[in-house]
Structure 1
């Protein structure tokens, strides 16, 4: 792995550390790109929440699970070592974030994922999703075409995460959910920039 990729990965994964309480500093960045930040052990701040907070977490659980599915395929099929390293970091980080978000939703007495009926989410900007057909197509992509196909699909997928996070930052009420949204916005933006560099061969 190149020095520039290692630096970029550490930056991206460090930004995904979840702020578990108001006034709590971010977790210390991992020294390994595929080591996720620790999941929150406690419920999120209950000083206030609204429907946007709940829907953000539920929708992001669905979105993260799709991202993990795609990244796990990349850990097996990518021909670029740099891309495999990035995919491994994504799997570890997003699994940790899924556990955190589900624990918060459970503490709130809410379902731990969004209903997949897109008509139910029109007021929240729809349900951004990579379709099962796209994920299956990625799984069946020939090795020679895999890296480019994955980068194109996953860049768009993470862009959706950024947009969802920005909506939560603007419309949410819960301090911890909004802090998580900021972390996701920052880290996924860094991942997108890194993937563009990998695609351009400038890493």
Structure 2
């Protein structure tokens, strides 16, 4: 009987059970990463959609369409995660709030505007330049999520890994297009 009581006492107190506190589902770095990547992706979608109505090589149109589809799916996923966590989809607009993630990685709006109005003869060259920079910004942002002071959420960390891999491959493709 004493053995049974001792075992019950150990189980009730957790002694020797090897139980540990559950890891947090997400942290502030995860939230900030998603809140920063959403507008970054939305801008990427805006940029790649400009190629749809322009005379660009078929391979570049295909790449733009693939980027559009991928980034729309990512945005939907990120918004869903933030809703599930009870966190806002939008971020603090104070630029200092993003210093820990290296600041915003958005393409300057004037570059996007100039691309929108570029003559067809200059569009492909400008498109490649703007989109390459935009995709590189996503890679830099994603690296902060998986860095030392980054996020803890497995889904967000996996998204960051996939962003680094896919955007790096896309940049290589963009750099290989001849103008």
* C-alpha distance after superposition, 1:172-191 (max 9, x if no partner): 11111101100111011110
TM-score by length of 2: 0.81
Structure 1 unaligned blocks of 5 or more: 1-45
Number of matched residues?
155
Distance 1:125 1:78, change over 3 A: farther
Contact 1:105–1:112, Cα closer than 8 Å, also in 2: yes
Instruction: Give the structure 1 partner of residue 57 of structure 2.
Output: 80
Distance 1:105 1:194 in 2: 32
TM-score by length of 1: 0.72
Q: Does the 8 Å CA contact 1:77/1:143 hold for their aligned counterparts? A: yes
2:74 alignment counterpart: 97
Q: Which residue of the partner structure matches residue 96 of structure 2?
A: 119
Residue 143 of structure 1 and its aligned partner are, at CA, apart by 0.3
- Flag the structure with larger Rg: 2
CA RMSD of aligned residues (A): 1.5
Match of 2:111 among 134, 138, 143: 134
CA contact (8 A) 1:49 1:172 kept: yes
Distance in 1 (CA, whole Å) between partners of 2:122 and 2:88 is: 38
- CA apart distance, 1:134: 1.5
Distance apart, 1:74 and its partner CA: 1.3
CA distance in 2, matches of 1:67, 1:154: 7
**Which portions of structure 1, spanning 4 or more consecutive aligned residues, are displaced by more than 2 angstroms?**
113-117
The more displaced of 143-152 and 130-139 is: 130-139
Q: CA deviation at 1:145?
A: 0.7
1:65 counterpart (37, 42, 46): 42
Deviations 1:57-116 (A, max 9, x none): 010001000000000001222421111111111111111110000000111111113233
1:163 aligns with 2:140: yes
